[in-house]
Amino acid sequence: MLFPELRRNEVNSMRASPAFFKGLRRRIFNTRKQKVFVVGFHKTGTSSMGKALQILGYKVCGLLKEGFDFEQSEKDPREYILEKGKPLLNEYEAFQDTPWFLFYEELYEMYPDAYFILTTRNSNKWLASLQKHFKDKSWPYHEWIYGTLDSLNHGEVYLKRYEVHNKAVREFFHNKPNFIEYKLEEDGWEKLAGFLKIKVPKTEYPHANQAALKGKFYYKLKLALVKFYYKK
C-alpha cells in the first residue's frame, strides 16, 4: 500500500504528520529501491530521523507492537520478535525505533545493500533524556533489552547497554560503505540526504519529541486528533 499511514487501524507506521504530507510528492514520483534501517537506540533522535525519512518519501515503520507479547511465547524473545517483524519488511521502506535497532546483523544479512544509520548522542545526555521520558514505567521490550525497568535507580545498566550496542554496531559496519553514524547534536539534511543519494529538501530538518512543546495547546490538539482518527 502506498500510504499505510492513512489506515485507521495502523499500529506500526509513523502516522500521518506534516512530515508525511511534505514527502507525498517524492513518495509518488520517486522509487525507493534500497531499504533504510535506523540502528540507534531510542532517545537518540530516532523519531526526528523517522520524520526526516517521511519527508524524503519513505514509508516509515516505527515501534513494532506485534511483538509486545513476547513473554507469553515459548520461543526465544529474539527469535519471536524478529518473526513478528519480518512481514513488515515487505510493506515498509524505512525502519526506526524499538526493536529494529537490535537486529542489525540479521537485517544486514537479509538486505546487504540497504542503508544503515546509527543515530547517537552524548551518553550522559542520552541517559538523562531516557530517564526523563521513561522513568520507572513498565515499557514493552525494556526488561528484555536492559534487564530492568527502573532506569532511575539502574542508570549505569542502561548506559552500559547503550554504549556496548554502539560499539558493536561500529565494529560490525566498519569499512562498509552503506553505513553512517548520525549525531543528534551535530548533523542535518546534508549528511543524511548525501548518504541516501537524495536531493536535500527545501525545509528544515524535523525535530520530534521536543519536551518544550508538550505543554503547548497545539501539541495537545494534535494528540487529540490522532487519537480520534486512529482506532486503538
Between the alpha carbon of residue 185 and those of residues 44, 147, 188, the distances in Å are 9, 28, 9
Rounded to whole angstroms, the Cα distance separating 15 from 7 reads 9
Of 109, 127, 205, whose CA–CA distance to 166 is shortest?
127
Quickly list H helices, the chain: 18-22, 24-29, 46-55, 77-85, 104-110, 123-134, 142-146, 155-172, 189-196, 217-229
Confidence of residue 43 (pLDDT cuts 50, 70, 90): very high
pLDDT at 190 over 80: yes
User: Exposed/middle/buried for 176, CB within 10 Å: 0-12, 13-18, 19+?
Assistant: exposed
- The pLDDT tens digits for 15-29 are 777 888 899 899 888
Phi, psi values for residue 51, rounded to 5°? -65, -40
Rounded to whole angstroms, the Cα distance separating 209 from 220 reads 13
- The pLDDT tens digits for 106-147 are 999 999 999 999 999 999 999 999 999 887 677 889 999 999
Confidence of residue 58 (pLDDT cuts 50, 70, 90): very high
Please state the rounded mean pLDDT for residues 191-202.
Answer: 94
Top pLDDT among 217 and 30 is at: 30
Between the alpha carbon of residue 198 and those of residues 46, 58, 201, the distances in Å are 19, 11, 9
Question: In this structure, is the dihedral angle defined by the CA atoms of residues 152, 154, 156 and 157, taken in order, positive or negative?
Answer: negative
Where on the phi/psi map is residue 34: left (φ > 0), alpha (ψ -120 to 50), or beta?
A: beta
What predicted TM-score, i.e. pTM, was given to this entire model? 0.89
Between the alpha carbon of residue 193 and those of residues 84, 123, 137, 159, the distances in Å are 30, 25, 36, 30
